[in-house]
């Protein structure tokens, strides 16, 4: 059967996950049902457990696809399902609403689409304008009612993470914030400044999204925007474009050079750098087919030599101060 994904604990909580997660942002739009099903089968067969989704992904279709798989493709108890709340569609536009009513409406909708009584990790998708105590009270209710086992946040910067965690710790009985997920890769290292130190201080897990720099670190954009890539689509061009500038190209070339020397692919180098970076629990992989998952499974037995990891640190923004602690 080959290599299998290992496990990691989510901070100081009792939740454990595979050390890679399966992201579903493209499900129901760029990733069709049969490809999503094949991805999940291969992921679970390889020991993967964490699947991250959200009501905003495909306007609920990602959750529906996963929910349908519980009928015949995979056992619910074999997975750690993480979903989110707080992004809603109003008059065709996506807005952030972190009020108690909006969050709990999202959660109930997620449970219905996922065809399950609970989610393992429920996350506030973004910092909103509702009073923070109201937002966090919704998390408490989700846990005490049994609709969520654990709660976390997503896209919170350092001070927001610390504020939410401190509030939950202030009174016994509140549900602790166990994790945060923000973008983190060799092209996006801002999390090292405040987010990762905050997570370490509060004993929280970290789920990096877009660990391959929105696909750019695979090297596929080195000579242009290939047909069929996210960068070539009207709905995802904006997502890829920020990393097609000269500084990013220099990082991509360094990754490609390291890959050549190590007998790895650029995608594997970029992934392993994130997976093994200090404070990381599980990178979220947005693969669109089972075949795209294979290189990361093969990388389970791979590590970067310390001098290569540090060289990539240097070329992508400077030393990672936590690496030698």
CA-CA distance, 303 to 272, in Å (whole number)?
7
Please state whether beta strands 205-206 and 177-181 pair in parallel, antiparallel, or not at all (unpaired): parallel
Short-list 229, 94, 118, 206, CA closest to 155: 206
| 85 neighbors 58 (Cβ within 8 angstroms) | no
CA 100 to chain CA centroid, Å, is 24
Would you name the residues annotated as active-site residues?
A: 57
Give the whole-angstrom CA distance, residue 325 versus residue 322. Answer: 5
List strand residue ranges (DSSP E) for the chain, in order.
Answer: 7-9, 16-18, 21-23, 50-52, 80-85, 87-90, 93-96, 119-124, 148-154, 177-181, 205-206, 284-285
Q: How many whole angstroms separate alpha carbon 246 and alpha carbon 236?
A: 20
């Amino acid at each position: 059967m080959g290599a299998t994904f290992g496990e990691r604990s989510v901070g100081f909580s009792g939740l454990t996950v595979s050390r890679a997660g399966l992201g579903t942002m493209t499900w129901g739009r760029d990733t069709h049902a049969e490809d999503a099903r094949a991805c999940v089968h291969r992921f679970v067969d390889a020991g993967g457990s964490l699947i991250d989704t959200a009501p905003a992904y495909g306007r609920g279709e990602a959750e529906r696809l996963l929910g349908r798989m519980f009928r015949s493709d995979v056992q619910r108890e074999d997975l750690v399902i993480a979903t989110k709340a707080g992004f809603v569609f109003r008059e065709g536009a996506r807005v952030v609403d972190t009020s108690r009513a909006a969050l709990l409406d999202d959660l109930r909708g997620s449970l219905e689409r996922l065809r399950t009584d609970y989610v393992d990790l429920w996350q506030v998708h973004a910092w909103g304008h509702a009073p923070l105590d109201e937002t966090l009270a919704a998390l408490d209710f989700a846990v005490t009612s049994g609709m969520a086992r654990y709660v976390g946040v997503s896209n919170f910067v350092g001070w927001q993470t610390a504020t939410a965690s401190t509030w939950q710790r202030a009174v016994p009985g509140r549900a602790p914030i166990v994790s945060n997920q923000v973008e983190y890769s060799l092209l996006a290292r801002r999390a090292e400044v405040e987010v990762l130190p905050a997570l370490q201080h509060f004993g929280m897990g970290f789920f990096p999204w877009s660990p391959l720099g929105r696909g750019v670190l695979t090297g596929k954009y080195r000579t242009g925007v290939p047909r069929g890539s996210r960068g070539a689509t009207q709905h995802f061009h904006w997502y890829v474009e920020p990393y097609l500038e000269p500084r990013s190209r220099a990082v991509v070339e360094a990754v490609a050079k390291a890959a050549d020397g190590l007998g790895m692919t650029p995608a594997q180098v970029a992934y392993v750098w994130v997976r093994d970076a200090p404070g990381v629990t599980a990178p979220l992989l947005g693969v669109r087919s089972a075949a795209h998952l294979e290189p990361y499974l093969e990388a389970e037995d791979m590590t970067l030599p310390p001098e290569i990891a540090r060289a990539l640190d240097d070329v992508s923004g400077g030393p990672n101060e936590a690496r030698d602690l």
